[in-house]
Structure 1
Amino acid sequence: MLSLIAICVLIFFVGCNSKNNKSDSENWADSLENVQKIEVISPEENPILTISDKQEVEDFVNALKIDKWEMKDVPSEAIKGKQFDLYQQKTIKFGESSKDKKELKHVASITTYNKPYLDFNLGDVRFSFKVPKEVFEYLSEYQ
């Protein structure tokens, strides 16, 4: 099931890429490399930080250790924490102007909790995961 979700997310992020022969985990990491901005939002809906430096975004994606996430429902007693909104440049389609490419588009959100769980939202689809302790601690550091 997790592999199916990863494949769907991969297709969402990178579109059709039939010439790429990398493994799914490598494709997933490559697709997140396209993220260019991350907004950290407090539970009160106020942005508290914007990450847009290429190296900082790359470090953030690497720290997520997505391959270690375990698909599980968030416990009912968990309290929502910060939200991380991920943005990337809009893909140019045939007939569109390249000037529109500079506009960043919201592509996904990660919602944290006071426990090592998170929700990963792609459009109207939400996936819940239990994450390793080090990922939980890393995401909790953002203030």
Structure 2
Amino acid sequence: MTMQQDHQSKIFYDLSNLILNLLRYPPTTISLSDHRQIVRRPPPTLPPISPAGFASMMLGMSLALMLCGSITFFIGFLLMPWVIGLIMFLYLVGVVSTFSMLGRAIFCHTITDPPSSSTKDVPAWKLL
């Protein structure tokens, strides 16, 4: 189990490292010369992020999360009348079905005479 956790931790660490490197460094510029050679310049070293920059990044992340949450709330708010209408419709169908079965039980009850069974016609060995 610890081997699997170590593997997952390594994958998570590599993914985090990749994301942080993408955020930290601007994309490398590729310049083409007359001879069609691609020259890659090494990425410039950036100073560490300042506290104000870190606060701005956190503010942007929290703003994005609030925006996504409010959009989700708005979609739910728009769909709530449809959900309530569906619940009321199914409740009405249940009430109509119950009254239908009750009416059918009361008005469509056929009275039949039970079959006459007398002990005279039945052989003795079937009575036991």
TM range (shorter): under 0.3
TM-score, structure 1 normalization = 0.18
TM-score, structure 2 normalization = 0.19
Higher relative contact order (CA 8 A, sep 6+): 1
Q: Which has the higher helix share?
A: 2
Q: Which has the higher strand share?
A: 1
Q: Which has the larger radius of gyration?
A: 2
